[in-house]
Structure 1
Amino acid sequence: MRLPPRHRSPVWALLCTFSWQELRRHPWRSLAAIMAVLLGVALAFSVHLINASALDEFSQAVRSVNGRADLELRAVRGGFDEALYPRVVQQGGTAEASPVLELNTLLLTAQAPAGVPLRLLGVDALRLAGVAPDLIPRPHAEADRLDMLRPGRVFLNAAAQALAPEATQVQVQTEAGPVPLQVAGTLAVTGPATAVMDIAAAQDLFDRVGQLSRIDVRLQAGVDHASYLAALKLPADVLAHEPADAGQQIDQLSRAYRVNLTVLALVALFTGAFLVFSVLSLSVARRTRQFALLGVLGLPPRERARLVLYESLLLGGLGSVLGLVAGTALAALALRWLGGDLGGGYFTGVAPSLRWSPAAALLYGGLGVAAALAGGWWPARAAAALPPAPSLKGLGDAPSTGQGGMAGLVLMAMAGLLALSPPWWGIPVAAYVSVAALLVGGIVLLPSLMAAIDGPVANALQRHLLPLLAVERARRMRGMASSAISGVVASLSLAVALTVMVSSFRTSVIEWLDRVLPAPLYVHLQGSQQASEVLTLPQDWLKKAAALPSVQSSSRLRVRALQLMPGRPKVTLIAKDQLDDSKGLPLQGRVLETPPGAIGLYVSEAMVDLYLARPGEDFGLLAKAFPHRDGDSTGPATRFFVKGIWRDYARQSGTVVMDRADYEALSGDAQVNDLALWPKAGVAESVVESELRALPSSQGGSSAPLALEVASSAEIRERSLKIFDRSFAVTYWLQAVAIGIGLFGVAASFSAQVLARRKEFGLLTHLGLTRRQILAVVAGEGLVWTCIGAMAGLLLGLAVAVLLVKVVNPQSFHWSMELHAPWARLLALCLATVAAGTVTAWLSGRAAVSRDAVSAVREDW
């Protein structure tokens, strides 16, 4: 029987009222699902807004500095000979060419005497108008217009001025020490603290005479880039970059962090889908006779399914709208208080403003609605499949949502196959789908797990009435039980997975730090971590430090940045004294012998993935940084041999390690960034530190002590772990949100089920059970259900953790780690889940059995 079209509108108005009244009668169940969708949308949308705002601000700053150049000619390592510049100017097709010396140094102010990072650009002001107009110095009104060409003058952008407000003079750090510069004007450049001065003055000040960092080139209209570069014949150690390459570098470097953070934020939304499923499954089961009546009155199965889907749409729509509002507020607060990196450190120095995106709002709002509809799909099928006549007589119930063991096994198998898939576009898309398939498959198999566990338990409890009643109901109603605990299984499994993943990473980092910090003491100049190209330890000071009577031995370290490929993040080169296979490098696999005539290298795992630098093979890309040995341009190209792989958690874009003697012979660079020291036996580290700080240096004509940072390996270890914990602070919070939503969901589910069983409790009272015994049965049911849910969540969580540790992390960040499960913390999570479910069932049972037994079963008379 089907309703005529003229009767459908009044009926649907009645049905909408029916659904709305159902939601109003049980607000806590609905609130659990709405809150899950709300939090999922809010967290994911806020993470997107924060990252998008920071990336947009950074890209805008890059465009401001790079200007309208068609090509950027950059050195692979450090700088290149400025003799290339006249060739570029004279090359056919060149419209404008601007030479630039780019250095990272420190700005010393009264507020920050230790210095803050400053990007200093040496430019030819007369060449900027057609290439990078934002870099043109803007002298103060009272200043001389020629100040832009005079040494000792500097021009600051807004971010740099904010560090030294109203200052007429600032100090910048050089290798010879702090140098005062007169502030002669401003810049239009946006982004982090940036300063501009005359290029010749910058070369003199930083001992870079005859060197350039880059040449910005604007081509004549219609000139083909490839043909232009072929005619220019660039040296091997100079690469041509497109204008978009700089933005691509930070995008690639931060992409994995941003994507993983977004996926973690969607954990709450994933959990929300199961809570919607749980709420609507219980609602359909409770309203079996009402749906049956609608069927008898002529409402077809498809319309009954639509009714449930409309209810899920209402839940998802309310949660999504509220989530977008909350996400916008969260993003605004985070950008104001925390900046744009959320602990990742990719956008340090950038203070972005909120960029609200209607397209992103539609996307994440749509995800919330889709999650709710996905959660309501199976209950809608159950409502459509009800047999109207038997159900109306009380002889039929909602079809069990617990059937589908084969589907669960198929999903599990699919998860295993997807886990073997390589990353797509540099992102572990297949691995994320594998995680979702594993979780859904595990939850689909919940009824089978309940049957396997409850059967033997029930047989063992044949002589114990109350426990047997609790177990038998879970066994007989396993479909409904699965619906009730699906949300908590999803949230607990994800919480377990995140706990194991973070613990594995932290434990691996601790072991890694123990390997890479073999010396008791480490020394470098203040600020050299941010300005490694400028701030190096003086040679005379290094000799004096090594000769101290309190020092047994020392080891020097040189760190350089290499641009091996356009559009890729820079690779770090570490040149280390007496490179030893047995200490200082956490090596993976065996170490190969270096062939005669080659230079041996150790590469990080990222180098293998990004640059195919495989052990046992030559790494030809590095020859761009060192084209010829000892500067002989007529000799054969240097051969670099990869002899082993090491694990590097500090640098995601790749690291190459070579012996410092080889590096110095290739480059002629004898500079040192870090000094590792081993005190003599019985000498306290504090004694060595005092002697180092009192040690003078004659570099720059001054005999004053250097501004040193001296740290023990224990201090560096503690500081590194603090940075690690700060980076994962958002992960910890998302983990707490996921488990909180799950517990709230199981509380709402148990409350709804128990309150719907008042007639059953009345019948048990008539059969002679006391109120305390009924409450014991209810609490026992909660204990059985949540124990099975905790077991399933733990097992699924451990399986997901294996995927995160062994697949997602290597594909995202290009590093591996060992699996480490903190069993005490995992046990606490499971016990908290079991306790919450048991207590909630008991509290709900108190409300249900408080009514009079006769009135509770009146409908059955």
Structure 2
Amino acid sequence: MWALLSTYSWQELRHHPWRSGAAVVAVMLGVALALAVQLINASALAEFGSAVSAVNGQPDLELRARRGALDERWLDRVAAHPQVRVASPVLEWQAQAANAQGQQLGVRLVGVDALSVGALAPALMPRNADTADRLDLFAPDAVWLNPAAAQALGAGPLRLQSGLRWQAVRVAGHVAAPGGPLVVMDIAALQDLSERLGELSRIDVRLAPGAQAERVLADLALPETVLAQRPEAAGERVSQLSRAYRVNLTVLALVALFTGAFLVFSVLSLSVARRQPQFALLGVLGLAARERLRLVLAESAALGLIGSALGVALGTGLAALALKLLGGDLGGGYFVGVAPPLRWSTSAAVLYGALGVAAALAGGWWPARAAAGLAPAQALKGLGTSQAPSARRQALAPVLMALALLLALAPPVADIPLAAYASVALLLVGGIVALPVAMGWVLDRLAPRVQQRVLPLLAVERSRRQRHTAAVATSGVVASLALSVALTVMVASFRESVTQWLDAVLPAPLYVRSTGNTQDNQHLPPAFVDAVRALPGVAQADALRALPLQLDAARAPVTLLVRPLRADNGNLALPLVGPLVAVPDGAVPVYVSEAMVDLYGAKPGQSLPTLAQAWGHAANFVVAGVWRDYARQQGSIAMDRADFVRLSGDTRVSDLALHLRPGTDEDTVRGALQSLANQQGAQGLLEIASAGEIRAISLRIFDRSFAVTVWLQAVAIGIGLFGVAASFSAQVLARQREFGLLAHLGLTRAQVLRLVALEGLAWTTLGALAGLALGLAVSVVLVHVVNPQSFHWTMDLVLPWTRLAALCAAVVLAGTATAWLSGRAAASRDAVQAVKQDW
């Protein structure tokens, strides 16, 4: 029996390749995109982790300062402990390197002790060239390059940056460290180059066999300002920091698969409706309702299996191509410069392949239920063809909507908005379940307005009486358009909020900093700062700094922003969220980003003891306000520069914000700054940018980060329109007799085509309106729930009506054209032969 039924199902799929192919393509694209995103991110993470492991080595512990550098005096104390086998000092630094040809490259400088680094990090052990002297290991001008740096800079003499000066060095050999460009030199030489005498980035510790880390740390009695952590913690922090971006990108990729489920539902629903006489005959011959249900589910599973297999192959190819052309960064900025090889994951392929099959089965469930609930005797008499949804199914829509609202209010799970994602899915499903009722309500009110025109009357009346079929046919378009509308609103809201934020945090017209300054590793010389302030046309030069601060070993460092916080008018120069609160006398006011509130519980009016611990100062730091910071997902703290200098005594400057006198030409000041840098031998080491240029660069990075969402929206819309094409093709082929009758009644071929186009216009217009309404509801969840729970910042809802109207109009036009093209074949059939089939 099942062999015959399997043959029957296979013949059904084979003889209607257009409809089954649409569902297969939808599943294939969904699986391919999701798997490609997973493989790219997994490959990038693995490559980053391998590079960190190779460079950091395999110590038992790493000792780091929570703020700034680690005092070198700790090295002797740690090395003298009887249960410490090796203590290796390391100093890390970001700088520019220039070869003899003048080519500049951002590199990572690592200072090591050649006598101890080999035991803990063999990849950093300098290996001299044949022409080098063995004492070059301790020479102040000798450096060793890893493969990436050697390929980019060559083996000739180099110059290394320190602030606004160049230091000549020579290449003495190489190191085996993988990853981005890296330059190794003696730690004492790097301390001198960077003007950080007595400072370390970390101490790598290898314990004696059998030693317990907890006991060693207790004996050392480290202060709160020193952090002891596992060597793999850095890779884990980057993985945790990028997790929200990776999860959201994967969910966006699954949009195509979600849309594909509705397309499978549409294709199989129409297929079941068309095959009702066949299912009725099979029922009379003894095929039970459960077996009919299994038969349709088997067809949907076959579609899912074929689509998943093709999707796994396509996704693997897309991932390999993306890694080759774009590297491991998909726009989030977490893996810039990482170019990993593809790392195949069987478990990921099986998971997303299973999701493809599950999506197809979910899409085929209701059509299978319809086939199972068929009354064979009535269907054979032509009495069982009603497709109207049951009252229970209609009542399901408000239940799903209410459940979606409750889930939107739920908190995240492990910083991932799982409940919010489920809320979005339920909103879409509930909206599509309610689609027949909503379409009927609109068409009932439209029908009286078209009674005087024949073709619009025929189109509206047929749509009214086939409202369930219309809802089924347009469900894919509704789902894809709703998600596209939601993503459009979310991206527009985010971009507008970022634009307003940039206006608030860039009050000065010009900004100056040392080239390659990241993580507070390059400072402007005091003499240069004084000379800039004395330039004609410069009214004020605000000193700025951004320092990493490790408040929690399990999280990425937060950023301490040091700047003058009061503008000339006395207002706080920060984009605040909520009101300011007064701080007690003697307390130091600080202003935290929204991420600090979510991650560390730093609420206005509360003290920040973790900041005092990391700072190593007994000051009472009190949160005076919360502000938006779209640049630092891990959290940031803003402090007035006067308070910072008073508490730390550190007057170093990383950036300058220049306020110009009225009437001063900006280009003139630029030229004066460049001349000043050239006078101090800092050619190529000074970055000068206007607020407008920084804003343009930031928005360009933003657009690049969200470029992938545009492609995913296009794929989702394409899948939805593909479903409309398949549905209309099935409809017009089944209506050949109807078209023949209309031809006998005097309608021309052009009028029949116009009728089909009007039906397509009615269906896709109603689908577009439903998709727009659902999309706006979903966008509220994305903007106010998913985004804050994922990235810990809020935004204002912005509705780009022009773009949304263009999107809906494009879908309506494409759907109407699809219906017209689908009707051409049926309308061209001989009218007499079409009607004769019914005699």
**Shorter-chain TM-score: what band?**
over 0.9
Residue 547 (structure 2) pairs with residue 560 (structure 1): yes
The equivalent position to 2:445 in structure 1, one of 456, 463, 467, is 456
The answer for the alignment partner of 1:709 in structure 2 is: 687
The equivalences for 1:678-757 within 5 A come to 678-695=659-676, 702=680, 707-757=685-735
RMSD: 1.8
The answer for the alignment partner of 1:155 in structure 2 is: 144
Residue 117 (structure 2) pairs with residue 128 (structure 1): yes
In 2, distance between residues paired with 1:42 and 1:173? 45
The equivalent position to 1:584 in structure 2, one of 559, 573, 586, is 573
TM-score, with length taken from structure 2: 0.97
Deviation at 1:282, TM superposition (A): 0.6
Deviation at 1:290, TM superposition (A): 0.9
Q: Which amino acid aligns with 2:385?
A: D
Change (3 A) 1:568 1:689: same
The equivalences for 1:295-444 within 5 A come to 295-397=283-385, 399-401=387-389, 404-444=393-433
The answer for the alignment partner of 2:192 in structure 1 is: 204
In 1, distance between residues paired with 2:397 and 2:793? 32
Q: Which amino acid aligns with 2:348?
A: A
In 2, distance between residues paired with 1:661 and 1:788? 61
Name the stretch that deviates more: 656-665 or 101-110.
101-110
Residue 530 (structure 2) pairs with residue 543 (structure 1): yes
The equivalent position to 2:88 in structure 1, one of 75, 93, 98, is 98
Deviation at 1:294, TM superposition (A): 1.0
Contact kept? 1:501, 1:804, Cα under 8 Å: yes
Residue 612 (structure 2) pairs with residue 642 (structure 1): no
Name the stretch that deviates more: 256-265 or 705-714.
705-714
The answer for the alignment partner of 1:5 in structure 2 is: none
Contact kept? 2:164, 2:677, Cα under 8 Å: no
Contact kept? 1:421, 1:430, Cα under 8 Å: yes
Change (3 A) 1:171 1:20: same
Residue 818 (structure 2) pairs with residue 840 (structure 1): yes
Deviation at 1:227, TM superposition (A): 3.0
The CA deviation string for residues 367-386 of structure 1, in whole angstroms up to 9 with x for no partner, is 11111111111111111111
Deviation at 1:774, TM superposition (A): 2.9
Deviation at 1:279, TM superposition (A): 0.5
In 2, distance between residues paired with 1:824 and 1:373? 38
In 1, distance between residues paired with 2:327 and 2:389? 46
Name the stretch that deviates more: 819-828 or 573-582.
573-582
The CA deviation string for residues 179-228 of structure 1, in whole angstroms up to 9 with x for no partner, is 12221122121112222221122112211111111111122334333333
Deviation at 1:703, TM superposition (A): 6.0
Deviation at 1:764, TM superposition (A): 2.9
Residue 24 (structure 2) pairs with residue 37 (structure 1): no
Residue 99 (structure 2) pairs with residue 109 (structure 1): yes
The answer for the alignment partner of 1:259 in structure 2 is: 247
In 2, distance between residues paired with 1:226 and 1:550? 59
The CA deviation string for residues 117-157 of structure 1, in whole angstroms up to 9 with x for no partner, is 22211111211233222221111233222322222111111
Contact kept? 1:564, 1:622, Cα under 8 Å: yes
5+ residue gaps, structure 2, are none
The answer for the alignment partner of 2:562 in structure 1 is: 575
Change (3 A) 1:57 1:476: same
Deviation at 1:593, TM superposition (A): 2.0
The answer for the alignment partner of 2:233 in structure 1 is: 245
The answer for the alignment partner of 1:488 in structure 2 is: 477
The CA deviation string for residues 486-535 of structure 1, in whole angstroms up to 9 with x for no partner, is 0000000011011111111111111111111111111112222x3x5332
In 2, distance between residues paired with 1:251 and 1:669? 33
Change (3 A) 1:111 1:814: farther
Deviation at 1:398, TM superposition (A): 5.9
Q: Which amino acid aligns with 1:672?
A: V
The CA deviation string for residues 279-330 of structure 1, in whole angstroms up to 9 with x for no partner, is 1111111111111111111111112112211211121111111111111111
Deviation at 1:94, TM superposition (A): 1.8
Change (3 A) 1:111 1:350: farther
User: SS of the counterpart of 2:634?
Assistant: coil
The answer for the alignment partner of 2:50 in structure 1 is: 60
The equivalences for 1:459-474 within 5 A come to 459-474=448-463
User: SS of the counterpart of 2:813?
Assistant: helix
User: SS of the counterpart of 1:125?
Assistant: coil
In 1, distance between residues paired with 2:275 and 2:100? 72
The answer for the alignment partner of 1:285 in structure 2 is: 273
Change (3 A) 1:693 1:570: same
- Number of residue equivalences: 836
The answer for the alignment partner of 1:632 in structure 2 is: none
The CA deviation string for residues 29-78 of structure 1, in whole angstroms up to 9 with x for no partner, is 12211111111111111111111000000001111122121111101112
Deviation at 1:453, TM superposition (A): 1.0
Q: Which amino acid aligns with 1:764?
A: L
Deviation at 1:810, TM superposition (A): 0.6
User: SS of the counterpart of 1:537?
Assistant: coil
User: SS of the counterpart of 1:272?
Assistant: helix
Residue 168 (structure 2) pairs with residue 180 (structure 1): yes
Q: Which amino acid aligns with 1:57?
A: E
In 1, distance between residues paired with 2:825 and 2:416? 50
In 1, distance between residues paired with 2:606 and 2:298? 61
In 1, distance between residues paired with 2:682 and 2:601? 47
User: SS of the counterpart of 1:856?
Assistant: helix
The answer for the alignment partner of 1:234 in structure 2 is: 222
Q: Which amino acid aligns with 1:500?
A: V
Contact kept? 2:728, 2:819, Cα under 8 Å: yes
Contact kept? 1:409, 1:441, Cα under 8 Å: yes
Contact kept? 2:513, 2:687, Cα under 8 Å: yes
The answer for the alignment partner of 2:38 in structure 1 is: 48
Q: Which amino acid aligns with 2:92?
A: E
The answer for the alignment partner of 2:828 in structure 1 is: 850
Deviation at 1:13, TM superposition (A): 2.9
Q: Which amino acid aligns with 2:327?
A: G
Deviation at 1:816, TM superposition (A): 0.6
The CA deviation string for residues 643-672 of structure 1, in whole angstroms up to 9 with x for no partner, is 001111111111111011111122222111
Name the stretch that deviates more: 781-790 or 767-776.
767-776
In 1, distance between residues paired with 2:223 and 2:545? 24
Q: Which amino acid aligns with 1:238?
A: V
Residue 99 (structure 2) pairs with residue 118 (structure 1): no
Contact kept? 2:677, 2:686, Cα under 8 Å: no
Question: Percent identity over the alignment?
Answer: 60
5+ residue gaps, structure 1, are 1-7, 629-636
The answer for the alignment partner of 2:8 in structure 1 is: 18
Name the stretch that deviates more: 835-844 or 607-616.
835-844
Q: Which amino acid aligns with 2:689?
A: A
Contact kept? 2:99, 2:156, Cα under 8 Å: no
Residue 656 (structure 2) pairs with residue 675 (structure 1): yes
User: SS of the counterpart of 1:587?
Assistant: coil
Contact kept? 2:305, 2:356, Cα under 8 Å: yes
In 2, distance between residues paired with 1:111 and 1:280? 66
The CA deviation string for residues 432-472 of structure 1, in whole angstroms up to 9 with x for no partner, is 11111111111111011012111122233344443222222
In 1, distance between residues paired with 2:182 and 2:107? 6
In 2, distance between residues paired with 1:348 and 1:488? 36
Deviation at 1:92, TM superposition (A): 4.2
In 1, distance between residues paired with 2:449 and 2:587? 72
In 2, distance between residues paired with 1:527 and 1:704? 13
In 2, distance between residues paired with 1:68 and 1:183? 27
The equivalent position to 2:72 in structure 1, one of 76, 82, 85, is 82
Deviation at 1:111, TM superposition (A): 6.8
In 1, distance between residues paired with 2:334 and 2:696? 21
In 2, distance between residues paired with 1:744 and 1:329? 23
